[in-house]
Chain A
Amino acid sequence: MAGDENGVNDDKPEHPTPLRGPDEGLPPKPEGKRPGVAADIGALATGLKTTLREFFSPVVTTMYPEEKTPRSERYRGRHYLRRYENGLERCIGCELCAAACPVGCILVIAAENTDENRVSPGERYAKTYEINMLRCIFCGYCEDACPVQAIVLGPEYELSDTSREKFIYTKEKLLEPLPPDVEARLKAAPPHPTASSGTSPPAGK
């Protein structure tokens, strides 16, 4: 703006937003006199009173490891692999969960079911099923992708451990039974109804 007045920077394009005046855009100044010394000391006393009142109020901290805040029913924590009621694994080794996973933390190696060794009701089952919990972002896409609702996210969030190796959750660990309340919820309202969302293997097998 100053350049415009003395004509030095006339060739330069003007800045799109104009300069602010000295008092423009500032909050209005308080009207009336400044409070006196007595009011100032009164304000200090008010502050002291407030903190003293808080001192004698009950503590609101949740003492975490001993007491926990209530969790939401829809909380997505560590994964579980489910079984049918007759004990067969739900997972059919289709690898759709691994394909859906945005961070690629799921490893599925499938094998054929045989009559001597029947693990799941489908043609194939997951011989290896591993989830790298350090990579997992708990988005739940695997749960959405699964056609047989074999993998679900449970309520546990205390997943810390002492070595990186322990964060590779193997099939044995993932096949641990679900907490009963989550199992009951899944039975009452399956996340998405498919042919095999029931509690027993699909008919015809």
Chain B
Amino acid sequence: MNDLYNNAIGHWVIVTIAITALLFVVLTATAYTVWFERVALGRIQRRPGPNRVGPYGLLQLAADGIKLAFKESFVPATTDRILYVLAPCIAVGAAFLAWAVIPIGLWDNPKVTYWIADVNIGVLLVFAFSSLNVYAIVIGGYASNNKYSLLGGLRAAAQLISYEVALGLSLVPTFMIVGSLRLRDIVDYTVTWGPYHGPIPLILLTPIGFIIYIIAAVAETNRAPFDLPEAEQELIGGFLTEYSGLKFVMYYLAEYVNMITVSALATLLFFGGWYLWFVPPFLAFLIKVVLLLFLYIWLRGTFPRLRYDMLMRLGWKVLLPLGIVNVIVTGIILLAVQG
């Protein structure tokens, strides 16, 4: 396998197959994340959730997908046609691109390297791709030529820019401790604490960083209680107002892929990735991601949406200073420990 991988043509064959496989895996995971969310939200409200289509409602998403795919592709008359179609494409493209660098623990053999991309600036790439999401929302809001869409787009721009700073800062202590931006290196970071020698979940070293990360990540993915760009009640769906059918599906897909991306990133950066006692690597990774997704859904089921000024205050006056202090304190402790 390794010889084939090092061959120029074989390399591309393998990468293409891996990309296709990953696309399939992520799409399926997205479908079942939606199912999981609906069931978990239902249980929080003492309802059973979807349970009609297929066993335990597991085919609900297939039914929804078919229904949405066969809807008329309606474009309102006064939209900017090109941008209107382009915006959801950006959303879904950016969401999937981030998965190129996320290692999901599919290998055991140290000889076989991770296939799609094992770059040394992995985390930066993920953030670069996920910030493209703001363009999708702003352009979608602008191109719809509808006041609610535009308001939603503007809110998204302000919100994403505010929380991106906090999100970036929350991870700086992790990079300072590990000394690498490569996601594999961060997971493989090992410590020697007395008798114990091996990888640790980095949340033990950067708990404040994790708290900032999870709040900022929920805001970055426009999920409740930070779903102001959508805000059905005030903005009748915000940037999504004029979208229906497949274009709506693309936004919807992007939101859930982003949710999984952020959970996977949190797993890699704070919870030791694919290491979990004796559990096989891929399964360990899956368990951690599912638990983080449940945290997301739990937050959505519990908290009401923030008011806009509260959102900005939380971002700029609480998370950002906390992030900076976290970086400084981590630096001082690192200096003290390492000399």
- The chain A residues found within 8 Å of chain B, CB to CB, are 44, 47-48, 50-52, 54-55, 57-61, 63
Contacts and interface: CB of A to CB of B under 8 A. Distances in A.
Interface stretch (B41-49, B82-90, B281-289): B41-49
Nearest to B43: A55
Interface string B31-67: 0000000001011111110000000000000000000
B46 A60 contact: yes
B278 to A, nearest CB: 27
A57 B47 CA distance: 10
Interface of B: 40, 42-48, 298-299, 301-303
24 contacts: A44-B303, A47-B303, A48-B298, A48-B299, A50-B302, A51-B298, A51-B301, A51-B302, A54-B44, A54-B45, A54-B46, A55-B40, A55-B43, A55-B44, A57-B46, A58-B46, A59-B42, A59-B46, A59-B48, A60-B46, A61-B46, A61-B47, A61-B48, A63-B48
A35 to B, nearest CB: 15
Contacts of B48: 59, 61, 63
Which 3 A-B pairs have CB atoms at the shortest separation, nearest pair first? A51-B302, A47-B302, A55-B43
Contact of B298 (A52, A57, A59): A52
Q: Is the interface of A mostly helix, strand, loop or mixed?
A: helix
Task: Select the residue from A57, A59, A60, A63 with max chain B CB neighbours within 10 A.
Answer: A59
A201 B45 CA distance: 57
A203 B164 CA distance: 92
Contacts of A60: 46
B210 to A, nearest CB: 15
B52 to A, nearest CB: 10
A57 B46 CA distance: 7
A51 B46 contact: no
A44 B40 CA distance: 19
Contacts of A63: 48
Nearest to B46: A60
A51 B47 CA distance: 13
B3 to A, nearest CB: 51
A167 B101 CA distance: 62
A52 B302 CA distance: 9
B302 A48 contact: yes
Contacts of B43: 54-55, 59
Contact of B44 (A44, A51, A58, A61): A51
A59 to B, nearest CB: 5
Contacts of B45: 54
Nearest to A54: B44
Contacts of A57: 46
Given A47-B303, A51-B301, A52-B298, 6 more contacts: A48-B299, A48-B302, A50-B302, A54-B43, A55-B301, A61-B47
A55 B301 CA distance: 10
B47 A59 contact: yes
Contacts of B299: 48
